[in-house]
Amino acid sequence: MHGLLDSGCVDRIVVAGPARHRAVHGPGTPQLASDPRVTVVPTGSDGDPAGPGAMGLTPLRAALAAADAGPDDVVLVHDVARAFVPAAVVREVVDAVAGEAVSGGAVAAVPVQPVADTVKVVDDDGIVRATRDRSHLRHVQTPLALRLATLTDALTRDPAAELTTLLADLAALGGEIRTVHGDPHGMRIRTPFDVAVIEALLTTENPA
């Protein structure tokens, strides 16, 4: 959350998830726990998904209700597993949407990273059938930035939205989804290997 707060363009953070997560983790460090800009709201049962990577509507709706934002306010939908997103990336996605009246067309903005690996299309038997041109492929990160009215419209159109389908729903609204440069620190931390990678990055950049 530090990247969000340090961006200078985030007024409030609402963390939504099962109550048991709050009991174990709280809102993070003691500094974040005492920060009036950070609110934690419980959502549904312990079985409800709590992160945008597998996002059901329960946590997102709970977060939006607690955010007290207006329809023209820019909101960010962020995956808590991308805990080290830099402040500069947050500013870029917000600026891309906040300036849409001038630049025109953008209904949302997301950070992306180039796809470095060769991508193959295989059939059900595991046979390679095609090779994708990776120059046009990107890994999508978060936060996703958009105006609250746009997000509400997309969620109304698709009650079963997840983050991946939400991007498609936004494109169907008729506007552009602008991309900004992501950052390796915005990686999604899910496995012990991911933890080792981010720890190595932080150790290299912040030697004791």
Q: Tens digit of pLDDT for each residue in 99-145?
A: 865 556 688 999 999 999 999 999 999 999 999 999 999 999 999 99
The number of domains in the chain is: 1
126 assigned to some structural domain: no
127 assigned to some structural domain: no
Lowest mean pLDDT among 62-66, 114-118, 164-168: 164-168
Residue 96 near residue 102 (C-beta atoms within 8 A):
no
pTM flag (> 0.85): no
117 assigned to some structural domain: no
11 assigned to some structural domain: yes
Quickly list DSSP for 109-125. EEEEEE--S--EEE-TT
Over 70: is that where the pLDDT of 20 sits? Answer: no
115 assigned to some structural domain: no
40 assigned to some structural domain: yes
Identify the pLDDT of residue 28: 56
Task: Name the residue range of residue 194's domain.
Answer: 2-110+140-205
Identify the pLDDT of residue 35: 80
Average pLDDT score over residue span 190-195: 94
131 assigned to some structural domain: no
Residues sharing a CB contact under 8 Å with residue 177, sequence separation 6 or more, in sequence order: 106, 107, 108, 109, 110, 167, 170, 171
Over 90: is that where the pLDDT of 9 sits? Answer: yes
Over 60: is that where the pLDDT of 22 sits? Answer: no
Amino acid in position 26: G
Average pLDDT score over residue span 40-55: 56
Q: Nearest CA to 83 among 190, 166, 196?
A: 190
Q: What CATH number has the domain bearing residue 21?
A: 3.90.550.10
